[in-house]
Structure 1
């Protein structure tokens, strides 16, 4: 059967799984993951000689990345049931599956990835939300970059500290939220990071200028003028 062409590479897994060599991704497995085809994926799992869990795309996406990006919650949960370690695997861009789900705005999939019962609780969740890709972006950055406000709010509530993390462009999630015009989210972020409900004299002039600049870039200064004045 024709295979998707990519280089083979060896990567480490969680201690429970040891070492494995990632194989070429079978096109049928890719299509099943992309379409959320539970029956087709279950058939692939039964093939012991070509496990779908050890296969990656040319971008080094695992089946969990693909299912997460496509928003297939049931398939995501099926994959996690068999291979929980895939939630910690990065692709060639340094993205975890949580980045994939956040980038496409699938809130239910984001919740499933972060709340799967067999995970190691709060410590792993916070660690995943602090993890950055090659652009130094957390899942929160990625959600905001793609204008997924509800996903961004959910991620921020789970890990507020990342709202101040700058990416490679020097943009923090707070800056990106202001740029996008997400006033309610900016209020939440400033309440957490500056310990005030509104941006008034308690926020430094440099911080205020940064958020105002972001609002201007996004042409949202009208919305933010009231907020900045604390009215």
Structure 2
């Protein structure tokens, strides 16, 4: 029986949002992630006293024990890499969805390959952290992707990009080139992490401009002179999801005037700056937002 948790990253509104810092809910019930059929779970109560555990790793370890009938050392990288839910969410996905940065750090320390693992929705940990509105978690994850001074993270990058021939040639320029491609990765809905940040539940008072503030921290340039700090605003105009919506469109749709102004101000100097997909003006008209 696969290890199962009710904390699989999912679109808010399809199922109840997981409680902050709770690795497993008291009652584990089946749900459907968009596009995927999940068999009903046989275990209805895994952890009746979950709040008594010290941290999420203990919670997941106990659930693993109860589901499989054996104990496991979750701090062993092999075990961490293997654990997943029915829709392929890893321990890092679960920690990122909950915004538990202590667990994110712990998992990255012991199993950096999980930074490059995607679930069935083709979500990276960045997608689910942004979807949950956990900007500090996005910040920590990006810092991990950029930390190629750590040999294991550098090797994880090289394995992910199928470029293990000469690790010595992998430098900050190479890393920025790869990071730019990684940030543009789309999930099944066609959303990048920037789209997910705009789509997240705003009940946590997270503003959309926070995601750009985090991206602006990465000014190192690749061999073509591109950096995440420069390109994140272009991506907000140029990359559209399967609904043909750009990040700019979503910002207009959400009524986030500060975000719209920030994106436009940082794209004014580009002669090619033109929103792709549905016109943001249409979103403003549909929302009857004359100011926008």
TM-score by length of 1: 0.69
Q: Using the alignment, how far apart are the partners of 1:165 and 1:97 within structure 2?
A: 20
Q: Confirm whether residue 114 of structure 1 aligns to residue 114 of structure 2.
A: no
| Alpha-carbon spacing, 1:93–1:216, altered in 2? closer, same or farther (3 Å) | same
Cα deviation, 1:29-74, whole Å, max 9, x if unaligned, reads xx89xx9524566894368698132111011101100100011101
**Cα distance, 1:142 vs structure 2:** 0.8
Q: Confirm whether residue 153 of structure 1 aligns to residue 212 of structure 2.
A: yes
Q: Is the 8 A contact 1:180 1:215 kept in 2?
A: no
Cα deviation, 1:163-211, whole Å, max 9, x if unaligned, reads 1201101000011111111112112212333427xxxxx987x88x922
Q: Using the alignment, how far apart are the partners of 2:132 and 2:213 within structure 1?
A: 14
1:169 corresponds in structure 2 to: 243
1:4 corresponds in structure 2 to: 3
Q: Using the alignment, how far apart are the partners of 1:189 and 1:66 within structure 2?
A: 31
Cα deviation, 1:110-153, whole Å, max 9, x if unaligned, reads 11100023345433432221111111110000110124424433
Q: Confirm whether residue 128 of structure 1 aligns to residue 182 of structure 2.
A: yes
| Alpha-carbon spacing, 1:178–1:61, altered in 2? closer, same or farther (3 Å) | same
| Alpha-carbon spacing, 1:44–1:107, altered in 2? closer, same or farther (3 Å) | farther
2:254 corresponds in structure 1 to: 180
Q: Using the alignment, how far apart are the partners of 1:78 and 1:170 within structure 2?
A: 37
Residue in structure 2 matching 1:98, options 110, 126, 139: 126
Unmatched 5+ residue regions in structure 2?
5-45, 62-70, 155-174, 217-227
Greater shift, 126-135 or 145-154, is seen at 145-154
TM-score by length of 2: 0.56
Superposed CA RMSD: 3.5
Q: Which has the higher strand share?
A: 1
1:141 corresponds in structure 2 to: 195
**3-state secondary structure, aligned to 1:222:** coil
Q: Using the alignment, how far apart are the partners of 2:189 and 2:285 within structure 1?
A: 24
Q: Is the 8 A contact 1:52 1:63 kept in 2?
A: yes
Q: Using the alignment, how far apart are the partners of 1:49 and 1:183 within structure 2?
A: 44
**Cα distance, 1:99 vs structure 2:** 0.2
1:79 corresponds in structure 2 to: 107
Unmatched 5+ residue regions in structure 1?
6-26, 197-201, 225-231
